Amino acid sequence: MSNEKEKQKVVSVASAKVVRVKSISVKSSGVTLLKAGSQDFRIPVRLGKDSCGY
């Protein structure tokens, strides 16, 4: 998939809802990481939860 199509897809998923973000300063690089990710984040033990309302 081309980058252009990729861009269209993610934009179509998100809606342009307006919210007010409280006191989060955007770093000089222009990116503020609110939560670090991990490639094995979805391992259930790490999640500590599963579905069905648990």
Partner 1 sequence: MKYKWSVFTVRYVLAGGNVLVKNFLTGAIAILENEVMDLMDMWLDSQTQFAPNSLETLSGENGFIVPEDKDEFHEYQNFFLHTRNEQAKLFTLHFLPTMKCQLNCPYCFEHGVKRQGTMTDIILCQSICWLDRYLEVNPEVASLKCVLFGGEPLLVKRLVNESLSKFKSLAEKREKEYWTEITTNGILLDVDTAKMLKQYNLRRVQITLDGPKELHDTRRVGSDRHPTFDRIITNVRMLLDGGHVSRINLRLSLDIQTADLLPNLIRFISTLGYGDKIHLSLGIVVPSIGTTIKTTAEMTIAQKAIIAWQVAKECGFSVPDEFLVGPWCVAIAKHSAVLQSNGALQKCFCTVGRSIFDFGHVSGLPISYTQDIRFEKFSRINRCVEEECPYLPICGGGCIHDSIVKNGKKGFKQRFCQRKLIATLNQGLLFLRYSS
- Site map 3..22 versus partner 1, x via CB under 8 A: xx-xx-xxx-xxxxxxxxxx
Distance in angstroms (rounded) separating the CA atoms of residues 44 and 2: 33
Does the footprint of partner 1 cover residue 48 (CB under 8 A)? no
- Rg of the chain over all Cα atoms, to the nearest angstrom: 16
- Longest Cα separation, the chain: 42
Smallest distance, Å, CB 1 to partner 1?
7
Binding site for partner 1 (CB under 8 A): 1, 3-4, 6-7, 9-11, 13-24, 26, 29-45, 47, 49-54
